[in-house]
Chain A
Amino acid sequence: MTTTVEATARSRSAPQRPGFFKRLFAEYGQEIVVLAAIVVLFAVVTMVNPRFISANNLTTIFSGNAYIAVAAIGMAMVIVTGNIDVSVGALIGVLATISGTLAVAGYPIWFAWLAPVLVGMAINAIIGILVAYARIPSIVVTLGALSILRGGLISVTGGTWITDLPSAYLIAQKQVLGLPVPLVFMVVLTALAALWMRYTAFGRSLYAIGGNAEAALATGIPIARRIVAVFVIHGAFAGLATILFATQLQVIQSTVPPNLELTVITAAVIGGVSILGGSGTVIGSTLATILFATIGSALIFVNVSAYWLRAVIGLLILATVLADMLRRRGRS
């Protein structure tokens, strides 16, 4: 009799926290896959062409794409809440022009850096309010914003480039502690954002909203305020990305890399952020950005046309989303 009671007691108390590695894989499965892909790619391409890991090429891979990773951090947060932003590329174009114009006009350098962050936050606050309070789907609001920002920018600048940037302004070309500034930006911002998302009540609420907005609301999470906040934070990251983008060359083109918003969204999705909301991390989006950059560079080193990059990325998107769907189906 006593043994039965003990057995029951033990089975009752059985649910524990799962082991460390199990949790690691459960929570960061996609991130680990992307990281493994980067490592394998480096190993293989280096065997074919050892110059692949030259300092020069590593700088190109990591620093040249850091602004995409920074923008993808904010994008990942937005997608986690079940929303999307297709206007971030156009926004970065506008912010870069504002920042560069201020720098050339002789405003203090710190102000030319701060302005894109503040303007990015302000513009995205409007987007956030339209999504959260006017209840317009984010895809619609940001498609509108995309047209306004891109059309407005070309009309105002006439497509001209900004030149004669003061050298003190070009922070992306500088180093701290012997490391390129963009790399430091990318690593530090990713780490801070990851901690914020993982270990704060705010971050947790974003996952709850993306997982089930109605339940989040019925649990006392102020979802409208959170959605506005996440868009504003996303705007700040777009501003930070702009600083890196605008200062990496001697000139600023008013035509940002076309499809930048799609690259940023793709980074988030391949990094494991579910397009349906509710899961994914900013570590994943940063790793995915590095993966694209590595693939792009690798194609050049093994003499394959760079146009294949888009096709490869397309395949990765489909594979990732398919895996996400299958995981969800398995769960329900």
Chain B
Amino acid sequence: MSNPTAYVSLTGMSKSFGGVKVLKEVDFDVRPGEVHALLGENGAGKSTLIKMMSGLYTPDAGTIMVGGKEVKFSSTRDAAAVGIATVYQELLLFPELSVAENVFLGNYPRTALGIIDWAEVRRRTRDLLDQLDTYDLDVDAKVLSLSVAQRQRVEIAKALSKNARILIMDEPTASLVESDVQRLMMIVRQLRERGVGIVYVSHRMSEIFALADRVTVLRDGAHVATRDIGEVDENQLVSMMVGRSIESLFPKADATIGETVLRVTNLNHGRHVRDISFDLRRGEILGIAGLVGSGRTELALTLFGMTPATSGEIAMDGKVVRIGSPRQARDLGIAYVPEDRGQQGLVKSMAIRKNVSMATIERLSSGIFIKAGEEAQRALDAVKRLSIRCRNIGQPVGELSGGNQQKVVIAKWLETMPKVLILDEPTRGVDVGAKAEIHTIMGELVKQGVAIIMISSELPEVLGMSDRVLVISGGRITGEIARAEATPERVGAAMTAHRTGEAA
């Protein structure tokens, strides 16, 4: 099974967490001088696999061969010793230290006296950065003053300083702007020419087709296929990833679209919400697409009163309203299920019952006291209606799985009987089953006349669920596309519109 030309090959890798098998006998290998793309939905097992390759997790079963010899990694140090380095999505640099200090941290060259040879540290850092065509980066600059793209290059330099033969890159372009993406792709090609094997994790098909030599697809923790890039097209990859065609994955419920419930006119807040105008109708799902940092979430936060609008007008049911706080937004019938449920959605130490009633607790009180019986009954109903899997409604929300936590946040907001429900990345970090359930819930809500604004980074989700797609770039609307005309190409073009100069 192990490939003679591969530098690293993994065979039969398996891993369970708390009785849940997240990786089932997966095979994977990387050859010197190739870009091997690793694809799969959230929860497919990509990050578990790369964490085992970089020594962060120990596999329950399976063997790792490096250069033809079997190895066991008990820490990231072991993996680094055989030349495997990782550039994580959340960059792990020390902001208060300089570029050079970061690059050689824990690995400083020393003088004959055993003292750190700073001149050497700086010289070699300069060298490494020059190799990455990064002549403009000062080795003495503090990392906190650098942009995300620059920090990423520091991470890559750090990997190279350890003579990495395999470089694992976990969604390296997720938070980069287009010009930086191009530059990163050049660096990747350069490394490949030097014989470095690269594991490239990304959701972006265009990058994968532009860079990869081979591609491996994982689904639900299992290996689906490994192919040369020339043998597959985008549709094949997507159906391998999801295991079915997109149409059946996003069951778009037919709801009658009614009168306008929310009208936004020339809304502004800071640099990220600029001159936004749109209408939202009852029973409609309005998808919002855009790159990270495009202003998608900022728009939601402004509509919900977290960062109140500095100018512009919001009208609910034809009446102009002022939304200065989440409380006002809530009382007007706007609900917001945030992007980061742990941060803004839930009090994890609190029981399901108390989280579900949190937005409506004042209405649930008669006189000064909470009606405890009704509160419990409503929580039980919500658990049943949304199929929240839990021991009982007294269970702290922090103990639930990601998908069930997300359903608790949705349940909390459904208690407020919202007219407008804003869902920000409703299925991020949620397993495939719960994802479908959340989509079904959305379908039921629009049938009841709720208007939904759905923000999502997943293009298939946006295209599959929306009646209409608004594309945002640089804080502005760069496209408004009806369901029938919404293709990945049109939406993708609008997502980068202001940079390439074309208007949608």
Binding site for B on A (CB under 8 A): 12-13, 15-18, 22-23, 26, 195, 199-201, 204-205, 207-208, 211-212, 214-222, 278-279, 328, 331-332
Q: A214-B344, A278-B347 are in contact. Are A208 and B392 (CB under 8 A)?
A: no
Q: How far is the CB of B131 from chain A (nearest CB, A)?
A: 42
Distance in angstroms from B116 CB to nearest chain A CB is: 37
Q: Pick from A18, A220, A222: contact of B392, CB below 8 A.
A: A18
In contact, B392 and A201 (Cβ under 8 angstroms): no
| Cα-based distance from A235 to B390 in the complex (angstroms) | 41
Task: Decide: A218 near B358, CB < 8 A? Known: A16-B380, A208-B347.
Answer: no
Partner of B391, one of A15, A212, A218, A221: A15
B293-327, CB < 8 A from A? 304, 306, 325-327
Contact between B359 and A215, CB atoms less than 8 A apart: no
Cross-chain contact of A222 among B327, B358, B364, B398 (Cβ < 8 A): B327
The 8 closest A-B pairs by CB, nearest first: A211-B347, A220-B327, A220-B330, A218-B344, A201-B361, A212-B347, A199-B369, A15-B392
Chain-A contact segment, one of B141-149, B217-225, B348-356, B433-441: B348-356
Question: Does B23 reach chain A (CB closer than 8 Å)?
Answer: no
Q: Is B368 interfacial (CB-CB < 8 Å)?
A: yes
What 0/1 pattern do residues 132 to 156 of B give for CB contact below 8 A with A? Answer: 0000000000000000000000000
A218 and B370 form a contact (CB under 8 A): no
CA distance A218 to B376 in the complex (A): 22
Are B384 and A12 interface neighbours, CB within 8 A?
Answer: yes
New contact pairs (4) apart from A200-B368, A212-B346, CB-CB < 8 Å: A218-B304, A222-B325, A331-B396, A332-B398
Residues A215 and B343 in contact in the complex (CB < 8 Å), given A17-B393, A331-B399: yes
Q: B349, B359, B383 — which one has the most chain A CB atoms within 10 A of its CB?
A: B349
- What is the bound-complex CA distance between A18 and B394, given in angstroms? 7
**Across the interface, which residues of B come within 8 angstroms of A200, CB to CB?**
365, 368-370
> What are 6 A-B contacts with C-beta separation under 8 Å?
A12-B387, A26-B394, A200-B370, A201-B370, A278-B347, A328-B349
Whether A207 pairs with B350 at a CB distance below 8 angstroms is yes
Interface of A is mostly: helix
How many residues on chain B are close to A (CB under 8 Å)?
44
CA distance A200 to B384 in the complex (A): 26
- Chain A residues whose C-beta falls within 8 Å of the C-beta of B326 in the assembled complex: 217-220
CB atoms of A220 and B359 under 8 A apart:
yes
Q: Which of B338, B349, B362 contacts A278 (CB 8 A)?
A: B349
Nearest A residue (CB) for B336: A218
Cβ–Cβ contact A218 & B347, under 8 A: no
- Chain B 160-178 interface 0/1 with A at a Cβ cutoff of 8 Å (1 = within): 0000000000000000000
A216 / chain B contacts, CB cutoff of 8 Å: 347, 358
| Chain A positions within 8 Å of B349 at CB level | 211-212, 278-279, 328, 331
Q: Is B83 an interface residue (CB 8 A)?
A: no
Most buried by B among A12, A23, A215, A278: A215
Residue of A nearest to B396 (CB): A331
- Output the nearest chain B residue to A198 by Cβ-Cβ distance: B370
User: Would A218 and B306 be within 8 Å (CB), given that A12-B384, A15-B380, A16-B392 are in contact?
Assistant: yes
CA A22 – CA B391 in complex, angstroms?
A: 13
Q: Which residues of B contact A215 (CB under 8 A)?
A: 343-347
Main secondary structure of the interface of B (DSSP, over half): mixed
Q: How far, in whole Å, are A199 and B369 apart by their CA atoms in the complex?
A: 5
- B359 / chain A contacts, CB cutoff of 8 Å: 219-220
Query: When chains A and B are docked, how far (Å) is the Cα of A195 from the Cα of B372?
Result: 13
Question: In this complex, what residue of B is CB-closest to A17?
Answer: B376
Q: How far is the CA of A172 from the CA of B368 in the complex (A)?
A: 31
Which of these, B330, B348, B361, B380, contacts A212 with CB under 8 Å?
B348
Set B329, B344, B390, B412: member contacting A15, Cβ < 8 A: B390
Query: Is there an interface contact between A219 and B412, defined as CB atoms closer than 8 Å?
Result: yes
B180 within 8 A of A: no
Contact with A along B392-422 (1 / 0, CB 8 A): 1110101100000000000010000000000
Q: A15-B393, A215-B343 are in contact. Are A220 and B370 (CB under 8 A)?
A: no
- The answer to whether B398 touches A219, judged by C-beta atoms less than 8 angstroms apart, is no
Q: Which of A201, A205, A214 contacts B343 (CB 8 A)?
A: A214
Q: Chain B contacts of A195 at CB under 8 A?
A: 369
B331 within 8 A of A: yes
Residue on A nearest B305 in the bound complex, by CB: A220
Best-buried of A201, A219, A278 by chain B (most CB within 10 Å)? A219
Contacts of B327 in A (CB 8 A): 220-222
For B412, list chain A residues within 8 Å (CB).
Answer: 219
In angstroms, Cα B349 to Cα A208, docked, is 9
1/0 per residue, CB under 8 A from A, across B29-59: the answer is 0000000000000000000000000000000
How far apart sit A93 and B486, CA to CA, in the bound complex (Å)? 71
* Chain B: minimal CB distance from A25 (Å): 11
Interface centre among A195, A204, A279 (most CB of B within 10 A): A204
Select one of B364, B369, B384 contacting A13, CB under 8 A.
B384
Q: Mark B68-105, 1 if CB is under 8 A from A, else 0.
A: 00000000000000000000000000000000000000
Q: Is the CB of A218 within 8 A of B398?
A: no
CB distance from B322 to the nearest CB of A (A): 15
- Which B residues lie within 8 Å of A208 (CB)? 347, 350, 354, 358
Please indicate the chain B residues that have their CB under 8 angstroms from the CB of A212 in the complex: 343, 346-349
Q: Which residue of A lies closest to B399 (CB)?
A: A331
Return chain B residues, CB-CB under 8 Å to A23: 394
Please tell me if the beta carbons of A204 and B344 are within 8 angstroms of each other in the complex. Answer: no
A158 to chain B, nearest CB (A): 46
On chain A, the residues within 8 Å of B354 by CB distance are 204, 207-208
Would you call A15 and B383 a contact (CB within 8 A)? yes
Question: Are B348 and A211 in contact, with the CB atoms below 8 A?
Answer: yes
By beta carbon, the residue of chain A nearest B358 is A219
Instruction: Tell me which residues across on chain A come within 8 A of B362, comparing CB atoms.
Output: 201
CB distance from B308 to the nearest CB of A (A): 13
> Cβ of A17 and Cβ of B392 under 8 Å apart?
yes
Complex Cα spacing A278 to B351, Å: 12
